[in-house]
Structure 1
Amino acid sequence: MSNTLKLNDVISRAEQIRELYHQLELAHHGSEWTVEEDVLAFLTDAALIARLTMSQQGRWPKENTEEELSHKLGECIWWLIIIANRTGLDINAALDGFLTKTEKLLNK
């Protein structure tokens, strides 16, 4: 069995998880996080990727970061899917557009 995930399946799972977090936010704060709060959470996780990568490469004094780095990479991909969804953008179209434009630019 292949470990390759299909993007549409990932998007569906990501949205289901985000809905569960919305329920926790309602229970704890009385309201769901805003899109801006989601973006701030993404940026925080992206910054952690930088620090964990430094550690993994021996440039920051923290040991055994492989599992945490892997988790944060997955979490950042999840956040990007959620942010696209909450801003009304199609992550498939955004990714395809970026790849196509970049391929054309680099294959001149």
Structure 2
Amino acid sequence: MARAVRAAYAAQEAERYGRPWSREEIMLGFLGDVGDLAKLVQGKEGVRPRADLDDALAHELADCLWCVMTLADAYGVDLERAFVATMAELGRAIDDE
């Protein structure tokens, strides 16, 4: 699903800009999404309230996850494998403390 959405965006970008976004531009888009997520977290903490906060937070978390998946795909990273290995490493580090 994430690849299909990325492909649709790439086609739209090619139409608008003459080429799909580069990996760097995808990363910059992700940074914007993380900024939006930060504002929504502030909302959950009472600093930036809004009516649709829970739905907006869920949407932005999913958007950020999509960006991470898209970047992993763009760089040939097996994200599932990396996640499992990283969680195991962190678990061992916690256990060692």
- Which of 28, 36, 43 matches 1:48? 36
* Aligned equivalents of 1:95, 1:15: Cα separation in 2: 19
Q: Deviations over 1:58-108 (max 9, x none)?
A: 122x31221111100000001000000101111111111210110110112
Q: Going by fraction, where is helix more abundant, 1 or 2?
A: 2
* Aligned equivalents of 2:26, 2:85: Cα separation in 1: 23
1:30 correspondence with 2:18: yes
1:63 correspondence with 2:50: yes
1:99 correspondence with 2:87: yes
* Aligned equivalents of 2:30, 2:85: Cα separation in 1: 22
Q: Deviations over 1:13-72 (max 9, x none)?
A: 101110011010011111000000000111110111111110122122x31221111100
Counterpart of 2:50, as a letter, is E
How many equivalent residue pairs? 95
1:75 correspondence with 2:25: no
Instruction: Structure 2: give runs of 5+ residues left out of the alignment.
Output: none
* Aligned equivalents of 1:106, 1:76: Cα separation in 2: 27
Counterpart of 1:31, as a letter, is R
TM-score by length of 1: 0.84
Q: Which runs of 4+ in 1 moved over 3 A?
A: none
Q: Give the corresponding residue for 1:7.
A: none
Instruction: Structure 1: give runs of 5+ residues left out of the alignment.
Output: 1-12
Identity %: 25
Alpha-carbon RMSD: 0.9
TM-score by length of 2: 0.92
